[in-house]
Structure 1
Amino acid sequence: MSEPTDGLLSDGGYFEDFPVGRRMRHARAATIDEVEGGFLAKQVVNTAQAHFNEHLLQGTELGSGRLVFGLATASMVYGLVATDTAEHLVSELGWDKLRFRAPMHHGDTVEAFTEVLGVSDDIDHPNAGVVRFKHWGRRQDAVVVFEGERTALIERREPRSTS
């Protein structure tokens, strides 16, 4: 009997596909426009004028135009890495060491990269293992704008032996 996801998921992206040290440059990039750039800041009531005032930063070291809310940048990077790192995800376990290295402005494009930092068994889940990733995004001018570490429980191709 076929599973409901047969034909939808790739053959890659299982726990076994993430050896420590593996690096990936993800295939897609995304331009952050008005919707992504301002909507989330407004939703969380981030009142920093740099997100809403088009002319506030002119002549400053941060450049001109409105800044993209940092968590919108982080979310965009996560979306770009998800196809390669979350297709066989069982559970997100955590994000930490988030760093916003340089500003993003509306109209900037971000591309994403990943390095596998660690892998381990999970005693409670013989069908999955824990993978620790470092993800980062950079602007169209190759400046790194975001980095963070993520821990995820990823399905195994074959359950590990528990004997």
Structure 2
Amino acid sequence: MRGLYFEEFEIGKTYEHAFRRTITEMDNVLFTSLTMNVAPIHLDAEYAKTTIHGRPLVNSLFTVALIGAFHVPELTMGTTLGNLGYEDVRFPAPVFAGDTLRGETTILDKRLSTSRDDSGIVWFEHRGYNQDDVLVMVCKRAGLMMKRPAHEVMS
């Protein structure tokens, strides 16, 4: 399975990704601990009871990483040359352990690279939703994508 080459991306097309993932308390504890985020809102259940949410929040960077990974098998597996940047990252609703997340990606724009003849830049918008179809994360991302190799024929 491979992702899409630069030429295959269609501006305006939206992909609903097949993967879904239920977030566990362990996911949150491991990610938060590995990244050395000691904020008690993620790790301390007693502290979290005193917040507006009443329970620990899932680390928002875990949410970005997870939603940002759902697209890989169908869009960028083996065809990406790297991320160029993320912008406008938002979290309209909180994520908690036990939530099941899914993702969608819309192709916002694309252009050929001005410095490389083997690639182009694609702008993506990734959106994550919980089990109640509530938007929990949205971000825009630019990725450097391979052009179709000259030796490969279109089928």
Q: CA deviation at 1:86?
A: 1.7
Q: Percent identity?
A: 28
**Alignment correspondent of 2:5:** 14
Task: Name stretches of at least 5 consecutive residues in structure 2 with no aligned partner.
Answer: 151-155
SS in 1 for 2:33: helix
Q: 32, 52, 68: which is aligned to 1:78?
A: 68
TM-score, scaled relative to structure 2: 0.86
Equivalent residues in 2 for 1:14-163, closer than 5 Å: 14-58=5-49, 61-62=52-53, 64-87=54-77, 88-158=79-149
Please tell me whether the aligned partners of residues 65 and 106 of structure 1 are also in contact (alpha carbons under 8 angstroms). Answer: no
Separation of aligned partners in 1, 2:26 and 2:65:
13
Q: CA deviation at 1:15?
A: 0.9
Q: CA deviation at 1:46?
A: 2.4
Q: Tell me the amino acid that sits aligned with residue 101 of structure 2.
A: V
Q: CA deviation at 1:142?
A: 0.6
Q: CA deviation at 1:138?
A: 0.6
Separation of aligned partners in 2, 1:114 and 1:154:
15
Q: Deviations 1:62-91 (Å, cap 9, x if unpaired)?
A: 2x4321000001111111111122211012
Q: Tell me the amino acid that sits aligned with residue 97 of structure 1.
A: D
Out of 44-53 and 131-140, give the one that drifted further: 44-53
Q: Tell me the amino acid that sits aligned with residue 56 of structure 2.
A: R
Separation of aligned partners in 1, 2:69 and 2:122:
17
Please tell me whether the aligned partners of residues 111 and 138 of structure 1 are also in contact (alpha carbons under 8 angstroms). Answer: yes
Segments of 4+ moved more than 4 angstroms: 55-61
Q: CA deviation at 1:56?
A: 4.2
Task: Name stretches of at least 5 consecutive residues in structure 1 with no aligned partner.
Answer: 1-8
SS in 2 for 1:115: strand
Please tell me whether the aligned partners of residues 40 and 48 of structure 2 are also in contact (alpha carbons under 8 angstroms). Answer: no
TM-score, scaled relative to structure 1: 0.82
Q: Tell me the amino acid that sits aligned with residue 21 of structure 2.
A: A
Q: CA deviation at 1:59?
A: 8.4
What CA RMSD, in Å, does the superposition of the two structures yield over aligned residues? 1.9
User: In the comparison of the two structures, how many residue pairs are matched?
Assistant: 149
